[in-house]
Amino acid sequence: MTEQQEKMRFREAIDHTLIGLEGNPFLYQRVAAQVEKGEKKMKASFARCIVIALIVVMCMSTVAVAAMMLNYSPEASALKLAMEAVMDKYGLSQTALGLFTHDVRATDEGMVFEFRCDVVAVDGHEVAGRYIVTVPEKGEPAAAWSYDAADPAIWQSGDMDAPIWGPVQLETFLRERTHAGTVDYRVNIRDDAVSAATPTPAPVFDTAPVWTVEPDVVLDANDLSEEQARELAVAALTDTYRLTDDDALQMDVFRCDMRASSEGDHQWHVNAYLYHDGYDWNMYVIIDAVTGEIIDIGMQTGGNG
């Protein structure tokens, strides 16, 4: 192989290695420049050059990620802790927790999150119960389940006809829920009628401003751009749901709307989709358009893709 052919192969290998950085052109350019500089002094073998280039890419990527400091609101930070508390204590997976919606209220003890499952029996009975987590300002979150006092044998068998569902039943339901009517566990996805009949705790802020979609809103000079909002959303979702770098690259941010409040404040509302471990994940992030603060974040499991 001639020296020119070797250089061409080296260049192609580096381009392939850097393809994951296309979303950050400045980082790509910096790494590519380092590679170009290294080509002029290339004395070692082709394989050694590739190893060195990969080390450069990894180091530069680490610097780029570290530079993006995520700023969570107190509510969003507490939500992360509440989700982790439920998963750690009761063995729910991220995907199973995606079958739950949550409400939050402020109390003297701290923020209280109530997770209720969208899967209910045909008569409205909440087979998965509710998980309640109190997140104090200081100290560890305290998680409880509405079926803590019940006999664990009821759900630990994994029986889908059991009146109480634990992690095993939820995982089974996730795997089989889209089998076109061939699976019937006498349960439904919670509809508006059931939700309306369920009391909703008071919001954290009693006088929250009204937010509306403003498609023609003009960004203020201090507002984040749409591109910045998308990048922040991907970073926040990756961090909150313990996703990999590859998951972040595969994530489809399909909507990014600017919203304005009745008080003139701006927020970015971002929606994203990810096919993760065999399931559809539908996610959202709400971002303060000026500070970049992550105000709210969530994920709903859409079943098998």
pLDDT in tens, the chain (305 residues): 555 555 555 555 555 444 444 444 444 444 444 444 454 444 445 555 554 454 444 444 433 333 357 999 999 999 999 999 999 999 999 999 999 999 999 999 999 999 999 888 878 889 999 999 999 999 999 999 999 999 999 999 899 889 999 999 999 888 876 544 445 566 655 543 333 333 344 344 444 444 455 555 667 778 899 999 999 999 999 999 999 999 999 999 999 999 888 777 899 999 999 999 888 999 999 999 999 999 999 999 865 54
CA dist 123 and 116 (Å) reads: 16
- Rounded to an integer, what distance in angstroms lies between the CA atom of residue 230 and that of residue 80? 20
What pLDDT is recorded for position 256?
94
Task: Tally the C-alpha atoms within 13 A of residue 285's C-alpha that lie toward its C-beta.
Answer: 32
Q: How many whole angstroms separate alpha carbon 58 and alpha carbon 174?
A: 36
State the Cα angle at 40 between 37 and 43, rounded to 5°. Answer: 115
Closest listed residue to residue 269, CA positions, set 247, 248, 298: 298
DSSP string, 96-142: HHTTEEEEEEEETTEEEEEEEESEEETTS--TT-EEEEEE-SSS--E
Q: What is the dihedral of CA 158, 129, 90, 277, to 10 degrees?
A: 70
SS3 217: coil
At 65, the amino acid letter reads: V
The b/e string for 38-52 (b: 16+ C-beta within 10 A; e otherwise) is: beeeeeeeeeebeee
pLDDT the model gives residue 71? 95
Residue 299 DSSP label: E
**Structural element, H or E, at residue 294:** strand 294-304
Residue 149's pLDDT is 96
In angstroms, the CA 101 to CA 82 distance is: 13
Query: What CATH topology corresponds to 211-304?
Result: Nuclear Transport Factor 2; Chain: A, (3.10.450)
Helix (H) or strand (E) holding 30: helix 25-40
